Amino acid sequence: MPDGSFKLDIVTPAKALERDQPVVSVIVPAAEGYLGILPGHAPLIAELVPGEIRVTRATGAEETMATSGGFLEVTPERVTILADTAERPDEIDVERAREALARAQERLASPPPGTDIDRARAALARATARLRVAGQIR
């Protein structure tokens, strides 16, 4: 493994997006805010929420992915992300994400009786992350 790097695994129930890839940093959307991982980070386990995963590879290349949540495990040599979903920009259905964003915004602006506000907020966060990663919003 290159000096100053660690291995990254990103796995969803549907597929493995990364396996044993050398990276120099990972930024993830944790429940308490975005969390940055660098080589030598203390071991931890964290809950992930909808947002962007940002990876800087050992080559210097940067990549973003949208996630809907999951868990992160950090060990001295490896970071493992067990994501509910994770999508690269070219995998995102932009029109579907826009429709989901509009539905969530409508539910939150004028919630019908019985609306699950937490669920609507989560849908808004997922759609926003997908559109951000796809380069459709800032």
Q: pLDDT tens digits, residue range 3-19?
A: 789 999 999 999 999 99
* Terminal Cα-to-Cα distance of the chain (whole angstroms): 34
Radius of gyration of the chain from its Cα atoms, rounded to whole angstroms:
16
Q: Looking at residue 89, what DSSP letter applies?
A: G
Least confident of 7-11, 43-47, 110-114, 118-122: 110-114
- What are the sequence ranges of the domains in the chain? 6-87, 93-133
**Residue 44, number of CB atoms within 10 A of its CB:** 13
CATH number of 6-87: 2.60.15.10
The predicted pLDDT at position 112 comes to 85
Separation between Cα atoms, residue 62 and residue 1, nearest integer Å: 18
The predicted pLDDT at position 111 comes to 87
Separation between Cα atoms, residue 121 and residue 107, nearest integer Å: 9
Residue in the block written with tokens 């973003």: 64
Parallel, antiparallel, or unpaired for β 78-83 and 33-37?
Answer: unpaired
List pLDDT tens digits, range 53-106: 999 998 999 999 999 999 999 998 999 999 999 999 999 999 999 999 999 999
The predicted pLDDT at position 47 comes to 97
CA-closest candidate to residue 88, choices 67, 113, 105, 119: 67
- At residue 1 the predicted structure's pLDDT band, cuts being 50, 70 and 90, is low
